[in-house]
Amino acid sequence: AQSVTQLGSHVSVSEGALVLLRCNYSSSVPPYLFWYVQYPNQGLQLLLKYTTGATLVKGINGFEAEFKKSETSFHLTKPSAHMSDAAEYFCAVTRRNTNAGKSTFGDGTTLTVKP
């Protein structure tokens, strides 16, 4: 079975500061990895994903994440936070080579950006 742990349910940063949201997974084989963002009163939207190839993945809005197999991690970063980044962030994993497409989501991290 696969699982996802997001360390820190709430993260607060100042505008312009580094954003670091942590995600660790547990899976028998390295899964596909995703980060989604949910703005208030909206559905989730994809920020970035890792399927294969380069382990540093760049996404939308200046976010990036690095897949580290040895650490079973896929942490999300952004060099400089913007007020508009305040949202809920979800890490998700999907087992490879499956047609069921079931994703396991972490519990989410609320990002607050202070002026």
- In the shown chain, the binding pattern of residues 49 to 88 toward other proteins, with x for contact by CB under 8 A and - for none, equals x-x------------------------------------x
Interface with other proteins includes 43 (CB under 8 A)?
A: yes
Residue type, 63: F
Q: Which residues, in sequence order, are CB contacts of 54 under 8 Å at separation 6+?
A: none
107 contacts other proteins (rule: CB under 8 A):
yes
Judged by beta carbon, residue 18 or residue 46, the one nearer other proteins is: 46
Among 16, 96, 112, 114, binds other proteins (CB under 8 A): 96
Contact at 8 Å (CB) between 68 and 77?
A: no
Using the rule CB under 8 A, is 108 a contact of other proteins? yes
For the bound state, the minimum distance from the C-beta of residue 48 to other proteins, rounded and expressed in Å, comes to: 10
How far is the C-alpha of 69 from the C-alpha of 81, rounded, in Å? 27
- Type of residue numbered 26: S
Count CB atoms within 10 A of the CB of residue 66. 15
